Each structure stands twice: as C-alpha cells, then as structure tokens.
Amino acid sequence: MTQPSAPSANNALFLTPEAPVTGWGGGGLRSASLLEYLKRRYRVEIASFTLPHHSKGFAARAWRNGWRFLRGAPPLLDRFAGFESQLHPFLRGRRYSVAVVEHFWCAPYARTLRPHCGRLVLDLHNIESELARTHALAAGGAQRILMSRFAQSYLRLERRWIPQYDLILVTSEQDRARVDHPNVCVYPNALPEIPMPQVDEQDFIVFSGNLEYHPNVQAVRWFRGEIWPRLREYTEWRLVGRNPEAIAKIVAGDDRIKVIGPVEDAVSEIARAKVCVVPLRSGSGTRFKILESWAAGRAVVSTSLGAEGLGANKGEHLLIADDAAAFASAIIELLNNPVLRRRLGESGRRRYSDHFTWQRAWAQLPF
C-alpha cells in the first residue's frame, strides 16, 4: 500500500488495483493517462493494495474459481475485496475534491470513500459483464458455464455499484450504451504522443498484448489452430507482450512462431512487422494493440469485435474479417501488396494522431 503524504487543498485520490504505468499493458496505459491528467490539476494521492500471495497453479485456480462460482463472486472483484483497512491511512481526517476508482473490481469501495470525497468517479476499463459474456460465447465446456455464471454476477453487481458514483468513464460509445447511469463520459483509451518509429519492415506478422489476459489467450488459440495453418508458408508469426508462459504450450512445436515476450518499446517492435493481427473473439472496451499498431504506422487485420469502439472504417483504417478463411486471406493480401499495407498504415497513423493521443482524450474529461 502506498503511504499518503500531508493533507492539502484541492486533493484528489486515485485508487488503482494495478500499476498506472506505460509499458505494462492496456490497463496500466489507461490508468497512466488518467493519472497524468489529474496530476496537472490536483494534488494526487495514489492508493493501491498489497495483496496476499496466491498460487497460479491449475489446482489452486480451479479450487478458487469453483468456490467463486458457487458464491457468484467474479474472480477479480473477489480478489480485490476486503482491503478497506488499507485505505484508512488515506481517509482518516482527510477530504478529497474527487476520488477516481480504476476498474469495476474496486467499485464496492464507494461506500468507504463517499464520506471523504466530494465527487466519486468510476473508470470502467471494460464492462465486466460484457467481457465475461463474450468470453463465455467464445469458450466451450466448463469455461462457458463458469463465465456465463460470472457474467450474470457482474451484471447484478454493476446494477448495484455503478449508481453509487457521480460520474462513470467508459472507453467507447458502445460501452456507454451498456451502462445505466445518468452521467457517463466517453474517455477513450489513448497513447502518449509517439514519434513515428524509424525502423525497417521485416518479414513477419505480430500479435501483441498481455499474453495471460484471457481474451488474448483465446485469440492466440484460435489463430494458432484455425488461421496460422493457412499462413505458415508465407511468413513468420511473433508474439510480443508480458506473461508469455501463458500461451507457450499453445504455440509450441513450430519454428515459424517466435514468442518474443515483453519488450521495452512495444510500438517500435510492432513497427518492424508487415502486418499486425487482432483475432479477438471476446472482450470489452477498446484495444490498445490497435492503437499501438496505428502509432507504429502498420497495417492491421482485426475481427469486428477487436476493432469495436475505435470508429475505424473497414478498408480505410484496417481490414476486418470474422472467420478464419477470410482472416487468413486478408493477411495474405497485405503481405503481397506493399502499397495497400502502406496506405492502411498511414491512415491508421493519422487516426491515432487525430483522436487517440493523451491530449485528445483529456479534452473529453469534465472534471
């Protein structure tokens, strides 16, 4: 738990369950953007939680999620519950103009924060009920049953906790429509202003992101099983991002697949690819992997769901395909057509510059 400093006027409290830093995945990037905005206007205290260690082994996870299934307690919300005592040093004798709570996982802390905060803001990186619902649709067997149960639990809890906040931030118009609240602001995911990388294009395609995030795991599994066999003779496939061990078994046994893992500069690494692939079949919010690909000036092939919320036009800013054969064909078309690759990359770069930098996103905030 981060320790508070002395009180002062015009304070803001920023409660986040994950580090608000760039280079650590989409959640950290969004939090970093909002935190930087607050720091320019308030004296900000950052509160986070010290969590007890728990095993990520299969048996331990199965036991935890089975117990959560019986209780109707979604995993991340359950993981971050019950740490009110860690907030007491920030709240005792304190008053904040505004408190921003990152992720729905921490929404129940509204009742602890309310007596100490003039305005409560909840930043929804995803609509968790929609995230779980689409995960269930894309999964099978026990996973479908489990995630369907959690989707219903999240929906019930969203109806309970979202009304406790004065302002709700969402990533897109689509997510705005999923939230029942009178005061919802679309605060888009965005990146800092990034110069166009000056690197040479190489002969590979790339998938980037937190590789243990379950929509990304599903995407890698689908791409490996249904799309990659149609592409293997044409190019190499690289996977870039944190937690590569989560997908290692899925992609093992093919020397044309390279798991790069985490890199210091994701945009420059992406810029070396000919094509960026976003084969997502579940999720909510908007995709930093597309924003990073646009910032890198590279052509993108995505599913419709992967491109949701970005206002992208098919054939202008990226190519869209929702079945394996069409997805593979779109990639092959781009590999064989450098003029089209360049045109899509330049158009995506303009869309990023015009709509998805931090300065552009900050202009939407009403506090």
DSSP-based three-state secondary structure for 242 = coil
AA identity, residue 132? A
Rounded mean pLDDT of 93-98? Answer: 94
Distance between CA atoms of residues 259 and 175, nearest Å: 32
pLDDT reported for residue 206: 98
Compute CA distances 132 → 36, 89, 149, whole Å.
30, 34, 9
pLDDT reported for residue 32: 92
Rounded mean pLDDT of 272-295? Answer: 93
What pLDDT band is residue 280 in, cutting at 50, 70 and 90? Answer: very high
DSSP letters for 292-321: HHHHTT-EEEE-TTTTTTS-PPBTTTBEE-
Domain spans of the chain, in order of start:
11-187, 204-357
pLDDT reported for residue 106: 97
- Asked if the domains at 11-187 and 204-357 fall in one CATH topology, the answer is yes
Do 354 and 193 form a contact (C-beta atoms < 8 A)?
no
Do 162 and 178 form a contact (C-beta atoms < 8 A)?
no
pLDDT digits (tens, 9 = 90+) for 225-261: 999 999 999 999 999 999 999 999 999 999 999 999 9
Do 102 and 31 form a contact (C-beta atoms < 8 A)?
yes
Query: CATH number of the domain at 11-187, please?
Result: 3.40.50
- Range name among 2-16, 209-223, 291-305 with the lowest pLDDT average: 2-16
pLDDT digits (tens, 9 = 90+) for 174-185: 999 999 999 999
What the block records as the tokens of 205 is 């395609």
- The model's pTM: 0.90
> How many separate helices (H) and strands (E) can be counted in the chain?
16, 12
pLDDT digits (tens, 9 = 90+) for 217-230: 999 999 999 999 99
Do 263 and 240 form a contact (C-beta atoms < 8 A)?
yes
pLDDT digits (tens, 9 = 90+) for 41-88: 999 999 999 888 877 787 877 788 788 888 988 988 999 999 999 999
Q: Looking at residue 257, what DSSP letter applies?
A: E
Compute CA distances 264 → 65, 176, 267, whole Å.
33, 33, 9
The CATH superfamily of 204-357 is Glycogen Phosphorylase B; (3.40.50.2000)
For residue 240, the surrounding DSSP H or E stretch is strand 236-240
